Amino acid sequence: MTAGKTTQLQIRVSPAEKAVIRRAAGKASMDVSTWVLAQLLPPPARRFQQLVASLAEVPSPRFATAELHDFLRALSSSEFTIAVENCPFESLDPYRANYLAAMVEVVAHQLELPAPDWTRYIAPLAEPAFGADLRSLRLHLLTQSPIPFRRRNIFIDSTIGDRV
């Protein structure tokens, strides 16, 4: 679990607080660091953070967005809320940040939940981005793209739930 971990977090606690934390970690069969991290970033949130980091690092976002799609679609309402509460979108270029925000907004709508606050801080793209280079498809993309994508100036033929 330590792969990729390069910084340390230190907190001051009383001896009694430390004992409580150690007991809770022991009951969960975890070391203290793993237990504290699990409290702050439950598994769905941790996986979402990992997928966003992957989206930022890959040269082409196609497979990373497909993996994010599958992850988001598999979440229950409560898991979704926890998973997407915080997002390090600052690590993404504007296109990827908008695409991610639109994906999250679509799933939030499908789950009848509000989109997380961070989606509002991502400014829409200044120029339209089309999911296909064929000019003859543009009218179709302009009219058929899901609303969250259109609001962000991204025009695609499929989205969450329609991936092929």
Say if residue 126 is in the same domain as residue 72. Answer: yes
Q: What is d(CA 41, CA 126) in angstroms, rounded to the nearest whole number? A: 33
Which residues does 93 contact at the CB level (< 8 Å), separation at least 6? none
pLDDT of residue 30: 80
Q: Rounded to an integer, what distance in angstroms lies between the CA atom of residue 33 and that of residue 35?
A: 5
19-38 mean pLDDT: 84
Domain holding 33, by residue range, is: 1-40
Q: At residue 39, does pLDDT exceed 90?
A: no
Q: What is the pLDDT of residues 90-128, one digit of tens each?
A: 889 999 999 999 999 999 999 999 999 999 999 999 999
Q: What amino acid is encoded at 100 in this protein?
A: L
pLDDT in tens, 56-96: 999 988 899 999 999 999 999 999 999 999 888 888 999 99
Average pLDDT over residues 138-145: 84
Domain total of the chain: 2
* Nearest by Cα to 83 from 50, 48, 109: 48
Q: 65 and 142: one domain?
A: yes
**In a shared domain, residues 18 and 66:** no
